[in-house]
Structure 1
């Protein structure tokens, strides 16, 4: 028996914002204060399998989430990411976008950002 999708068992109070096609919540295992997820309502695994209307709706939620985070946490930057497929590190087989606020000095050297998923390739400037 497979585990139910964790995004279908969310209590309503976890939902920060929503529209016809998606919703935003705070990540249950945040990597920084304010780490937010943008999730489609339809159960689908990949960004490349959703409709253009769904993509636009999720991007709208992403922009709205950024405004909320800016007001609430005032971060100095953001990482935006999607783990699309097992090889990319996707552990929940339901598409979701990470909006990760970044703060000055949260890392000694943040250069390379998302490239750091393969550490030996992150420092292309060396």
Structure 2
């Protein structure tokens, strides 16, 4: 853990409801993004900068969890597309963004990190937000297996 790392700080003292699931190596974290209900991060618990700093078994474990989150998003949220991204330029900590995307979302077809091209429709966002508890339950169920 590093004092300057935002993800290390988050995992050390997460606000209630932020950590959806965790084990000794990984945490699945809900991202509070008004335009992207269901946006989730998969975070390696220890402070590790790059995927290649992990051994092969741990890299596979990270991706197994990422794919379980993606599968839960597809099953519950029914998005047009799922975006998977691993950046970490500002937070040098292994983590993956798993983002459900829709034809009417604020950035589609561009990256959700690009400039918005529209505002999300309030009724569509409300309907997606209503699915988030079921999404979190589906993630936990998939990761129990």
- Following superposition, the deviation at residue 52 of structure 1 comes to 1.4
- Following superposition, the deviation at residue 31 of structure 1 comes to 5.3
Q: In the alignment, is the contact (CA less than 8 A) between 1:45 and 1:93 conserved in 2?
A: yes
Q: In the alignment, is the contact (CA less than 8 A) between 2:102 and 2:108 conserved in 1?
A: no
Name the structure 2 match of 1:122.
Answer: none
* SS in structure 2 at match of 1:39: strand
Between the aligned partners of 2:90 and 2:59, the Cα distance in structure 1 is 21
Aligned match for 1:50, one of 54, 72, 84? 54
Unaligned 5+ segments in structure 1 are 85-89, 118-126
- Following superposition, the deviation at residue 26 of structure 1 comes to 1.0
Q: In the alignment, is the contact (CA less than 8 A) between 1:22 and 1:39 conserved in 2?
A: yes
* RMSD (Å), alpha carbons: 2.8
* SS in structure 2 at match of 1:65: helix
Alignment partner of 1:94 is 2:93: yes
Aligned match for 2:73, one of 58, 69, 74? 69
Between the aligned partners of 1:82 and 1:73, the Cα distance in structure 2 is 21
Q: In the alignment, is the contact (CA less than 8 A) between 2:35 and 2:105 conserved in 1?
A: no
**How has the CA–CA distance of structure 1 residues 106 and 45 changed in structure 2, closer, same or farther, with 3 Å as cutoff?**
same
Q: In the alignment, is the contact (CA less than 8 A) between 1:26 and 1:34 conserved in 2?
A: yes
